[in-house]
Amino acid sequence: MKKIFLTFVFTLLSMAAFGQSEWAVDPMHSSINFNIKHMGISFVQGRFDKFEGKVGITGTDLDGGELAFVVDINTINTGVEMRDKHLKSADFFDVEKYPSMEFNSVSIKKDKNNMYILKGKLKIKDVIKDITVPLTYGGVTKGQQGKEIMGLQAKFTVNRFDYNIKYDPTAAAVAKDVEVSLFIELIKQ
């Protein structure tokens, strides 16, 4: 009897382990973008050129899945080298001490509008904060090489002061709120 029970437990654990699929970000078809108000009258746009991420799901439904991202802050790109250098300095991201930012999900749940609510922990510099992000699931299809690909999109706002990015504390020249847009394509592993 004990042998049958152990076989049953092993089978259930194996099904659970194999039931979850892992997806990796395709950097050629993904982007992490931001914009921030400047001088109260215009916006500066930028992106991060190097990042990686993984999603773990059961089937093709994100509900109950897991998501993790790491962004190389040293690859910040606003199209102006002098500004990018300033953003990497201790006035902003301080990449010498904090070369990356990270996000790890706590939960992903489908809401009543067929969207997803992503909750997780965002780490920028030495600060970790809980955030909630609306997530649009684009679906799954086959790519050109026959591999399954998945599309995700998210837009949210981050208060830079919450993460010890204190340059211009009045926010007169550089606003406090940063709008972030993620366009992510993942490849099933």
Angle, alpha carbons 121-67-104 (nearest 5°): 20
CA distance 105 to 87: 26
Query: In the chain, what are the domain boundaries?
Result: 21-188
Tokens of 34: 């931001």
Q: Which residues contact 105 (CB under 8 A, 6 or more apart)?
A: 65, 66, 67, 68, 118, 119, 120
Structure confidence by residue, pLDDT tens digits, 70-86: 999 999 999 999 999 99
Helix residue ranges, H only, 66-182: 81-88
- Average pLDDT of each block of 10 consecutive residues along the chain (189 residues)? 42 48 96 97 97 90 93 98 98 98 97 90 98 94 92 97 96 97 97
Element (H, E) at 94: none
pTM of the model: 0.85
CA distance 182 to 133: 11
Q: How many Cα neighbours within 13 Å face the side chain of 131?
A: 23
- Would you state the CATH architecture of domain 21-188? Beta Barrel (2.40)
Indicate the DSSP class of residue 20: E
